[in-house]
Structure 1
Amino acid sequence: MRALFVPLLLIYASGSGRAAGASGTKGTRFVCTAVPAGTDLSCPVDTSSRVQGTSPQEEELRNTVIQLRETILQQKETIVSQQGTIKELNSKLARCEADARSRGSARRKDYSKNTMGDLPRDPTETVQQLGKTMQSLKDRLENLEQQQLRANTSGGMFPNELRDLLKRRLTDLESQLLTRVAELEEEKSQLYSETATHRQRTENTLSSLLERITELEKSNNAFKSPEDFKVSLPLRTNYLYGRIKKSLPEMYAFTVCMWLKSSASPGIGTPFSYGVPGQANEIVLIEWGNSPMELLVNDKVTQLPLSVSDGRWHHICITWTTRDGFWEAYQDGERLGTGENLAPWHPIKPGGVIILGQEQDIVGGRFDATQAFVGELSHFNMWDRVLRPVDISAMANCSAYMPGNVVPWVDANVEVFGGATKAALEICEDRLFDS
């Protein structure tokens, strides 16, 4: 920007000293001559025309010169200030352009990284910040216009070229800011669209994975029929077990039958237990340590003449009735023992929990690893009556199958925990293979 200076020096020349009269004689004339800034503007005094003191014309000219000088100084300060403002605007524009280039190179980064220098990280905040910057520039332009108005009022001369340059520069900057705002809005829309697309793609992928997992689970548990499966409990721990989802009603008799395969020693452990609130040993079948297999009803105990620890599949059934506490024990379809006075006249309490493979010290928990069943178990069925010997024999030799009317052995009724597994099994074919 070129510097302007417009100081004027008024120099007067005295005539013949006569006032202009009727004869048309010319009086004093004034000549305006441009002089460089910084020149001594004090008026030389013509001592030949001055008799005493200072004339009113000289005094008026001196005051005019002083006022012009003050005006020039004020305008000079204004120009310096405006030059600083222009430099600041240029710096701001350069920073905006640098941020725009930086934003373009890091466009694929997420919002958690600052891609706009000192601008906010969110495009919405960036647009708001640019709006504030534009408003600040407009306020500065208004201040400059007010300074021009004050300078014109005081009789000074504001450089029109500087004002026009500032307006053009501000217009260009405003246009660039608006363009940048539009670009940011477009980027924001694209990011939202890309985010929605990515989220949809991720959800589709997860849905596909879940469907695949479900298919694999179904294929692994695709038993030929709901009862053709087994529960495996390979370790003597206190956390491997199965659980029957159905509970028992109040019963005055029962028959429980199952297939067992175990070679654990000493003792196969606890094939099943039924506990109710207030009595964890409502019904328990257990072979613990070197003791024979035992049946507990309401925590009353009797020994059973059963032996199933040879690593082969065996079918066992136990019947009990509250009348005289009479019981029967069957192995592979043959009745091996009977007895009475086992918890006589005691009804089996309802609302308890049936656990496969563990003995309960509290309802549904507090297992003891030394009492855990080790082996495989299948076709656990329970009835609320005493079955006939012919029915038990038919199930043992695979000539008939009778699901329990209280607890049937179906896949949906059995859940496993702690590493216990369910696997497909056709019990009669597997038993023939063992034999």
Structure 2
Amino acid sequence: MLAVIVGLLCLLGGRAVRSQDATGSRFVCNAIPPGAEPGCGYGPTGNRVQSSSPVEDELRNTIIQLRETILQQKETIVSQQGTIKELNSKLARCEAAADESSQGKARGHGSRRKEYGKNTMGDLPRDPSDTIDQLGKTMQSLKGRLENLEVRCRTSFSALTPLPPELRDLLRQRLGALETQLLRKVAELEEEKSQLYNETAAHRQRTESALNSLLERITELEKSNNAFKSPEDFKVSLPLRTNYLYGRIKKSLPEMYAFTVCMWLKSSASPGIGTPFSYGVPGQANEIVLIEWGNNPIELLVNDKVAQLPLSVSDGRWHHICITWTTRDGFWEAYQDGERLGTGDNLAPWHPIKPGGVIILGQEQDIVGGRFDATQAFVGELSQFNMWDRVLRPVDIMGLANCSAYMPGNVVPWIDANVEVFGGASKAALEICEDRAFDS
């Protein structure tokens, strides 16, 4: 630009010389100092030229305009240089981040940092026209790099590659905040869980306490009504020969065509143990009776028909006795302590046992449920009185006698709630097998 201005000045000066030569005058061109006024010429003697022509005024105005234009272009160039440097810096960072996410190789990263970290503009030339050309080339280069960066960013995002550092830092901050909120929520839930657990534990403790109190109360009530370990572990004691001590089975019998009756008994009475049990029905007080009266042997009565049994139980010890009977031919069997000691037949053959009667322990009935005779009363203790509506096998009877089997009667089971006592008779706890072992 300066060369253009100098050339223009020389051209104008040449024209002025030629015009002066034509009129007989001459002009001398001297170098103008940078701070001097363009219109004030200096002669060889250093004296200032006082007069000026229109040509000089025109030249002076042109030079002033050119100087202003040069200053404006200089300011524009400086501003553009700063903008380009800032763009270079940002592009270098973005390209480095894109290269890290797409390639992930250290050597590639280093080479690109060297490539993009340099100044794209380079060293600006001294000539203003060359500077403008260089600025244009630099802008084109920046535009190309921006387009290339956009393509690589789209490729990186489509491949789900890692984000640039700025976005990665922002994402890390957001994730940290979410993690903090999540931990706080988890802590609140843990606290609520602990409170709920404490409330549940307290409620469970109160419930268990109430259940324990209820269980203790039930146990006390059971003890007041039943002092036995199990419903069948008891005995009925009939200590005197009277007509008012007896026990009664609450349950009656159905119609039966066979039966088995078993019991444990203990007696030392003489003469005869009396009547361990009797079953009477309307119209027949001696439907089933087991009796030892006076010096007679133990007898079994069915429908008031009699069979003598070869049993002996008046030694004051516990004995297990079983009697079986079937209506077919009136066949019967007698067992003592598990052994069959006698059999017979023709005892009320083809007679069914009538239902709806009364079972009395310790007394013989002259009418259903009453009119007892003291001379026929049983003196001793009874336990485990059970009846079945069939004939038990010998092995079953042996199991009952040696305490190796427990088989309650299917018609009359021996349980505390099923037995009533009257007239001073009593019920007491008894584990028959232990007591029998102690007796033996």
TM, length-normalised to structure 1? 0.50
Give yes or no for the alignment of 1:372 onto 2:381: no
Aligned position for 1:386: 391
Give yes or no for the alignment of 1:308 onto 2:313: yes
Measured after TM superposition, the shift of residue 274 of structure 1 is 0.1
Secondary structure class of the residue paired with 1:391:
helix
Q: Distance in 2 between matches of 1:385 and 1:228?
A: 24
Q: Distance in 2 between matches of 1:300 and 1:215?
A: 48
Aligned position for 2:237: 232
Aligned position for 1:317: 322
> Please, which of 270, 275, 291 is the counterpart of residue 265 of structure 1?
270
Q: Distance in 2 between matches of 1:403 and 1:281?
A: 25
Matches within 5 A, 1:1-400: 218-219=223-224, 221-400=226-405
AA paired with 1:433? F
C-alpha contact (below 8 Å) 1:221/1:423 kept by paired residues: no
C-alpha contact (below 8 Å) 1:221/1:424 kept by paired residues: no
Q: CA RMSD in A?
A: 1.5
Q: Residue deviations 1:78-122, cap 9 Å, x none?
A: xxxxxxxxxxxxxxxxxxxxxxxxxxxxxxxxxxxxxxxxxxxxx
> Please, which of 428, 431, 435 is the counterpart of residue 430 of structure 1?
435
Measured after TM superposition, the shift of residue 401 of structure 1 is 1.1
Q: Which moved more, 1:220-229 or 1:337-346?
A: 220-229
AA paired with 1:244? I
Measured after TM superposition, the shift of residue 216 of structure 1 is 8.3
Q: Distance in 2 between matches of 1:216 and 1:337?
A: 46
Aligned position for 2:420: 415
AA paired with 1:285? L
C-alpha contact (below 8 Å) 1:251/1:348 kept by paired residues: yes
Secondary structure class of the residue paired with 2:427:
strand
Q: Distance in 1 between matches of 2:370 and 2:229?
A: 32
Give yes or no for the alignment of 1:405 onto 2:410: yes
| Same amino acid, percent of matched pairs | 95
Secondary structure class of the residue paired with 1:392:
helix
Q: Residue deviations 1:146-195, cap 9 Å, x none?
A: xxxxxxxxxxxxxxxxxxxxxxxxxxxxxxxxxxxxxxxxxxxxxxxxxx
AA paired with 2:279? Y
Q: Residue deviations 1:323-374, cap 9 Å, x none?
A: 0000000000000000000000000000000000000000000000000000
Aligned position for 1:73: none
By percentage of residues, which structure has more helix? Answer: 2
Q: Residue deviations 1:304-327, cap 9 Å, x none?
A: 000000000000000000000000
Over alpha carbons, which structure has the higher Rg?
Answer: 2
AA paired with 1:284? V
Aligned position for 1:25: none
Q: How many residues are treated as equivalent by the alignment?
A: 223
Q: Residue deviations 1:366-387, cap 9 Å, x none?
A: 0000000000000000000000
TM, length-normalised to structure 2? 0.50
Secondary structure class of the residue paired with 1:328:
strand
Measured after TM superposition, the shift of residue 222 of structure 1 is 1.7
Secondary structure class of the residue paired with 2:329:
helix
AA paired with 1:223? F
Q: Distance in 2 between matches of 1:262 and 1:238?
A: 17
Q: Distance in 1 between matches of 2:438 and 2:224?
A: 25
Unaligned residue ranges in structure 2 (runs of 5+) = 1-216
Measured after TM superposition, the shift of residue 390 of structure 1 is 0.1
Q: Distance in 2 between matches of 1:218 and 1:372?
A: 31
Measured after TM superposition, the shift of residue 217 of structure 1 is 8.3
Secondary structure class of the residue paired with 1:324:
coil
Secondary structure class of the residue paired with 1:318:
strand
